[in-house]
Copies of this chain bind each other. A is one copy, B any other.
Amino acid sequence: MKIRDIYNYLDSISPFELQEKWDNSGLIVGNMDDKFKDVYISLDLDLDMIKKIKKNSLIITHHPLIFSPLKTLNNNTYSTKILKKLIKKDISLISMHTNIDKTHLNMYVGKEILGFDFKKIDDFVLTAKIDMSFKELKKIVKEKLKLEILKTVNCKKHINSISLTTGSGMSLLSSIQTDCFLTGDIKYHEAMEAKATNISLIDIGHYESEIYFSRLLNGLIEKYLQNNNKEAIIQASKNPFEYK
């Protein structure tokens, strides 16, 4: 099976041209005409994981390994260290990032994992009507997403509507029109902005809210792979953070 075949299938599920301008989704390492044996799925790559991946295989990740274009390959950054390992083992890499955020991932996390009745507001923001206390909402979110700690901004005791952006969504704060915004990677000044504009926040973790990428993608390509006598191996991407 050639990279081109699965690339085209992935593109039919979630077109790569839907990606944002600053994104780098697509075939990042390898050639369209290369053949691959095994296929792996993971949120991200890390050095331990690469050790376990077999030669001549394909990995599909959510986050593109290269964001800032490279002028050197000096093995002193996350990207270049991983790239070196991939090349040495003839492993190809495809990333599906903002294209699958828009077509599937946000809604999958919102409905399948969190269990709320979300509707799409724009490409990256979902909203749902709910009717519960902030305390209750925090409890549900913590349990469903298995959050070790809960970092929140508390503006209202009762919550009638929520917005959701998986990953890192705080740049969208000014467009939020609901009582509470669920997203990851919330910084201090962003929290101050939310506090002043009376929007509660729950930090759902960048990692914790996107780790479902693997399960989701596997579901989407399972049959296609079976028809080609393949089966995806889900790799457990590790959270770099520890708490306590």
Contact = CB atoms under 8 A, between A and B. Distances in A.
Interface of A: 24, 26-32, 44, 46-47, 63, 66-78, 81-84, 87-88, 149-154, 168, 174, 184-189, 191-197, 205-207, 240-244
Given A46-B195, A46-B196, A195-B46, A244 B70 contact: no
Contacts of A193: 77-78
12 contacts: A26-B72, A44-B192, A47-B196, A66-B71, A77-B197, A81-B196, A81-B197, A83-B87, A149-B149, A149-B243, A185-B187, A188-B207
Given A70-B66, A196-B47, A187 B206 contact: yes
B174 A188 contact: no
Contact of A150 (B81, B174, B244): B244
Nearest to A89: B88
B73 A71 contact: no
Contacts of A242: 151-154
A174 B69 CA distance: 15
B63 A189 contact: yes
A41 to B, nearest CB: 17
Contact of A31 (B63, B75, B152, B196): B75
Interface centre among A26, A76, A168, A184 (most CB of B within 10 A): A76
A168 to B, nearest CB: 7
A213 to B, nearest CB: 13
A194 B70 contact: no
A152 B241 contact: yes
A68 B83 CA distance: 18
Contact of A87 (B72, B78, B84): B84
Interface centre among A47, A68, A184, A195 (most CB of B within 10 A): A195
A197 B76 contact: yes
Interface centre among A46, A74, A192, A193 (most CB of B within 10 A): A192
A191 B205 CA distance: 12
